[in-house]
Amino acid sequence: MRIIMRRISASKLRFLSLFTAMSLILVSSLFLGTQTTHAASYCQVTYSVTNQWTGGFSGNIVIQNTGSTAWTSWNLAFTFPASGQVVTQGWNGNFTQSGQNVTVTNLSYNGSVAANASVTSNPGFNGSWTTSNPVPTGFTVNGNACNGSTSPTPTPNPTSTPVGSTPTPVGPTPTSVPATPTPTPPPGTHVANPYAGAQGYVNPDWAAEVQAGAAATGGTLGQTEAKVAQYSTAVWLDRIATVSGGTGVTRTLAGHLDAAEQQASSSGKTIVITIVIYDLPDRDCAALASNGELTVANNGLATYKTQYIDAIAATLSLPKYSNLRIAAIIEPDSLPNLVTNLSYTKCAEANSSGAYVQGIQYALNKLHAISNVYNYLDIAHDGWLGWSSNFQPAVNLITSTVKGTTAGVNSVDGFISNTANYTPTTEPFMTANESVGGNPVRSSTFYQWNQYIDEATYDADMRTAFIAAGFPSSIGMLIDTSRNGWGGANRPTAASTSTSLETFVTASKIDQRLARGNWCNQPGGLGARPQANPAPGFAAYVWVKPPGESDGASQLIPNNEGKGFDQMCDPTFHGSQQVNGGNLTGALPNAPLAGHWFQAAFDTLVQNAYPAVS
Ligand code: BGC
C-alpha cells in the first residue's frame, strides 16, 4: 500500500463539487427510507428509530447543514410527542432533557460542519417509552427551524430485544450496528446497504492477537487494548493460500465464513463480513512493501482468475453461506496507481498488459453474480486523487472499467476510500477553501493545493461524480476509519487563531503526519468505530486495515510472501519531493513485514484513539 502525491499548478485547479448539495439531500432518503423533497435554507434533520422493543428503543439523528455557511458548533432541539419518551443514554452529543424537550449539543470532535455537509459521528441514543413511541416532527438547529424527516419505526418485537433486556449501545463503541427498520429482508436478499441492520464479523484470529498483546502490555493500557478485540475488521485474502489453504494460513476463507456463521447463530443477528480481494499480478506496483505472489510476466492474470477469484467465488456461493452478507473490497490501490504512477515500470506493465483492468472486471463479474456479495471498489484517498488533475481521470478509468463488466455499473454497490491509510474523515477545525491571511487552507505546504483536506468531502464529491458518470444513486461510500482518529495529546481542540496560513494549518489540523504522502506505520489513532449509515451517502465506516498489523517492514526482511522492503517504512529515510516533499517518513521503527502483528503500532493507535476507547 502506498500513495503518491502529484503536484499540480494552481492554474489547473478547478472546483468539482457539482451537485454535492443536491445529492446529499437525495441520498438521505435513500439510506434511511425517508421522503425528503426539498432542502431548508439552514438545516435538515433526519430522525430514525433504528430498533424498538417493549419499553425501549434506539434512535439515530442525522443533522445536515443545508445553508451556505459553515457551523463551528451546533445545538439541536426537538420535542418528544409522548410524555413517557426519555433519552437514557446518548453518544456523539451532549443530550439533556427537560420534560419532553430534548437538547443535543456537539462534542469537541463533531462541532464543525461545513456548508452542505452533515455532522460527522452523528448523534444517537437509547431511550425508553411507555404507551407509545411517536417520532418528533419539529427540529431546530442553533435556533433555526429545519426540514425534518423520519424513517419508519420498527414494529415492537420483544423476542428480538437486544441481549437480555438491556439494549446494546450503538454509539462510539458498537460491536453491532442498528437493526434495519422492519420489514427485515429475508436472509440472502441483496439489500441496499449490507452494513445496515447487520453485526460485523469479528475475526477471531485478529481478536486473539489483540488479546494476547493486551495481556502482555498489562496495566491500564492493556485493559483498554483488550476492549478493541470486540470490533469487526476485514479479512485480507492477500494470497491464494488464504483462500485454499497452505503454509502459515491458520484459517482459510471457508474457515472465516464458518466462524461468521457461528457468530450469526450465537447472536441471532445477520452478520456482515468484509473481505479484501488483494492479489492482482504486479500488486502494489508503485511500492515494495505489499508486493504479492503473482506477476504479469509469469502469466499471473490467468492464475489470478482460475486459482484465486474462481476459488473465492466457489466458496462464497456455497448455499450454507447464503444468509451472510459479504462485502468485498476490490483491489486497494490498483486502478489509482494506473492514474498517477505509470512512470513506475510495474505500473506501466500492469497498465499495458491490461492485467489490473481485466483482473478487476473478472472479479466484479464473478462476485456480483452471487446475490449476497457486495462489491466496493477502491478509490484511494483524497491525499492521492484529490487534485483535479487526478480526480476526473480516476473517475473515468474506474467508470470505464466497471462499465466493461457484464452487469455494467450495477456490478458495484459502492466505493471505498482510505483503505489502510491515515487520512482523517474530517478536519474539524478548518475547510479546504477557508481563507487565512488571504490564502486558502489548501494552498498550504501540508495540502499542496489539493482540492480536499479530508475524506468526507472527497467521498461525497466522488460519489456525485460517479452518479454523473452513470452509476445508480444507490451507491454507498465506505471509509476505512481504523487508523484515522488522530487523537492523543497533540490533537488540537480548536482552530488556531493565527492569521499566518502555515501556522494556522499546522496548529489546526488533526492529521499529525509530517507529510500527507507518508503512508507506512504512522503514529495515528483508532478512528470512528465501525458503524452503518454514518452520514447520507455513506454505507458505513469500516475497519479494513486491522489495527496492529504492519504496513511494511522498516528494514529488509527475507520472506516467502513476495513482500519487499520499501524505504517509506524506514524511519530514518527522507522520501522524495514527489512522494512526501522530502520529509522524514515518520514511520514507527522496528516494524515487521506488512500484515504481521506490530504491537508497538497497536499501542500507539490505542493511545491516540479518537474517540478514546472506553
Ligand atoms: C499487506 C497484507 C495484509 C494487509 C492487512 C497489507 O498491507 O500487504 O499482507 O494482509 O495489509 O494487514
**24 has a pLDDT exceeding 50:** no
* Choice between 67 and 442, residue whose per-residue pLDDT is larger: 442
- Stretch 348-353: mean pLDDT: 98
Domains and CATH numbers, the chain: 43-145 (2.60.40.290), 199-429+450-500+517-565+595-608 (3.20.20.40)
Q: Where are the beta strands (DSSP E) in 402-447?
A: 414-417, 435-436, 439-440
Long-range contacts of the stretch 428-431 (C-beta < 8 A, 24+): 428/109, 428/110, 428/111, 428/112, 428/120, 428/510, 429/112, 429/492, 429/494, 429/495, 429/496, 429/508, 429/509, 429/510, 430/495, 430/504, 430/505, 430/508, 430/509, 431/70, 431/114
Cis peptide leading into 154, omega within 30 of 0? no
Which residue from 238, 520, 598 has its CB within 8 A of the most atoms of ligand 1, so it is best to mutate? Answer: 238
Task: Please enumerate in sequence order all residues whose Cβ is within 8 A of that of 556, keeping only pairs 6 or more positions apart, or say none.
Answer: 565
What is the arithmetic mean of pLDDT over 391-396?
98
How confident is the model over 121-144, as a mean pLDDT?
86
Cell numbers that stand for 430 in this block: 478548518
What separation in Å is there between the alpha carbon of 563 and the centre of ligand 1? 10
Can you state the angle between helices 599-607 and 204-217, rounded to 10 degrees? 80
496-514 pLDDT tens trace: 999 999 999 999 999 999 9
pLDDT for 552 beyond 70: yes
520 lines ligand 1 (CB under 6 A): no
Assess whether pLDDT exceeds 50 at residue 169: no
Question: What was the pLDDT predicted at 53?
Answer: 64
The 10s digit of each residue's pLDDT in 235-260 is 999 999 999 999 999 999 999 999 99
Given a cut of 80, is residue 76 above it in pLDDT? yes
Which atom of ligand 1 lies closest to the CA of 563? 8
What spacing in Å lies between the alpha carbon of 148 and ligand 1's midpoint? 43
Which tens digit of pLDDT belongs to each residue from 177-201? 444 444 567 777 899 999 999 999 9
pTM of the model: 0.73
Q: What angle do CA 330, 484, 608 make, to 5 degrees?
A: 145
Closest residue by Cα to atom 10, ligand 1, is: 595
Cα gap 114→430, rounded to integer Å: 9
Q: Where in the sequence numbering do the catalytic residues fall?
A: 333, 551
The ligand 1 atom nearest the CA atom of 549? 12
Judged against a pLDDT cut of 80, whether residue 571 lies above it is answered with yes
User: Which amino acid, 253?
Assistant: L
Distances (CA, A) of 530 to 17, 175, 194, 329, 485: 27, 8, 13, 15, 12
Distance 70 CA to ligand 1 centre (A): 38
Give the strand pairing for 235-237 and 139-141: unpaired
pLDDT at 154: 53
Burial of 3 (0-12, 13-18, 19+ CB in 10 A): buried
Q: What is the pLDDT of residues 277-313, one digit of tens each?
A: 999 999 999 999 999 999 999 999 999 999 999 999 9
Q: List the one residue out of 115, 190, 123 whose CA is nearest residue 374.
A: 190
User: For residue 40, what pLDDT band results from cuts at 50, 70 and 90?
Assistant: low
